[in-house]
Amino acid sequence: MPDDVPYILGHSQAELRRLMLQASIIQPITRRLLQEAGLRPGMRVLDIGCGTGDVSLLAAELAGPSGSVVGIDRSAEAVAAARGRATALGCGQVTFRQAEAGAFDDPDPFDMAIGRYVLIHQADPAEMIRAAAAHVRPGGIVAFHELLLAGEHQTRPPLPLATEIWDGVLAAFASVMPHPDAAGRLVEHFHRAGLGQPALFCETPVGGGPDSPVYAWLVQSLRSLRPQMERIGRPVPADIDTLEDRLRAEAVAAHSQLVGPHQFCAWARVPQPGREGLSDFE
């Protein structure tokens, strides 16, 4: 992401742990995206904004030993964590570099460029899609998985505590993010990037019962965003150390289900000569 757009969640050890929890919840959605977009064994993949490496490692699994993955992120802390995880897993076909998409340089084109939760941080989402496409061979694939940070938090039956947390998270994001609604405008952004009409789908994580990871996901997000909430004068729920347990107890007692943010996925092929502006999915 550009240097002039802050990443307000930071890269503390607590935030890196939150990212790994988040990945465990949404990884099946990203897997579906990569498979439907056409990631196959032997492909060379670029993961933009790789964070702690979850998408890179998933892509490496799908690309197999004959494929390779390069993950890039501007955070040295995230890249170090990603390298450590790849080493621990013995995943030698993945490499990680500290770089931004616009400044990253590689002599060989990629078969696919992917990004998860990247466009919401961009001053111009279409420009990021163009930057991703610039690293991909003609006929290759550009794919993004984004969450929609807009709208009411849905719980049925309603949970006042969940609503309070969600409203605070949204307010913190909206105060600094240029495009919290980027997921809801992927068709527009892909067209502006020159890739034509993308293929699309949307899935939504839903949690409930005593063992759902959604409670921890929501509360850990609030913890990472707490400094920003305080900067904008947004009240932080009291007794944050007991918040997850209280949220779980409230949900279980009410037999409620918590609906997470909608996950939008889109992909398109980089135009080949003679097909500029057209997608292979049209």
Per-residue model confidence as pLDDT tens digits over 135-172: 999 999 999 999 998 876 679 999 999 999 999 998 99
Lookup: tokens for 54: 């979850």
pLDDT range class, residue 124, cuts 50, 70, 90: very high
Residue with tokens 């990021």: 128
Q: What are phi and psi for residue 82, nearest 5 degrees? A: -65, -45
pLDDT for 13: 78
pLDDT of residue 180 exceeding 80: yes
Task: Indicate the residue type of 139.
Answer: G
Q: What is the pLDDT of residue 203?
A: 97
Q: What is the mean pLDDT of residues 69-78?
A: 94
Q: What's the CA gap between 262 and 185, in Å, rounded?
A: 13
Kindly list the distances between the CA atom of residue 4 and the CA atoms of 123, 128, 211, 235, in Å, as whole numbers in the listed order: 8, 14, 39, 27
pLDDT category at 10 given cuts 50, 70, 90 is: low
| pLDDT at residue 4 tops 70 | no
**Whether pLDDT at 133 is above 50:** yes
Q: What local confidence, expressed as pLDDT, does residue 281 receive? A: 45
Q: Is 50 exceeded by the pLDDT of residue 207?
A: yes
Give 114's pLDDT tier (boundaries 50, 70, 90).
very high
Highest mean pLDDT among 36-45, 74-83, 147-156: 36-45
Averaged pLDDT for residues 189-202: 98
Are 270 and 138 within 8 A, CB to CB?
A: yes
Written as six digits, the tokens of 154 are 């849905």
Widest CA span in the chain: 61
Of the listed ranges 1-10, 42-51, 242-251, 271-280, the least confidently predicted one is 1-10
Return the pLDDT at 5.
55
* Contacts within 8 Å (CB) and 24+ apart, 104-109: 104/72, 104/135, 106/46, 106/70, 106/135, 108/44, 109/135, 109/136, 109/137, 109/140
pLDDT at 278 over 60: no
Higher-scoring residue by pLDDT: 237, 39: 39
Q: What is the pLDDT of residue 101?
A: 87
Distance from C-alpha of 80 to C-alpha of 84, rounded to nearest angstrom: 6
CB of 119 closer than 8 Å to CB of 125: yes
Q: Quick check: 57 and 94 in contact, CB under 8 A?
A: yes
**How far is it, in rounded angstroms, from Cα 59 to Cα 187?**
24
Please tell me the distance from the alpha carbon of residue 53 to that of residue 96, in angstroms, as a whole number: 8
Mean pLDDT for the chain overall: 91
Asked whether the beta carbons of 51 and 19 are under 8 A apart, the reply is: yes
What CA–CA distance (Å, rounded) separates 115 from 127? 13
pLDDT in tens, 235-269: 999 899 999 999 999 999 999 999 989 999 999 99
- Stretch 12-34: mean pLDDT, rounded? 90
Q: Looking at 64-73, 111-120, 127-136, 273-282, which range is the least confident one?
A: 273-282
Residue 149 contacts residue 124 (beta carbons within 8 Å): no
At 15 the pLDDT is 82
Strands (E), 30-135: 44-48, 68-73, 94-98, 110-116
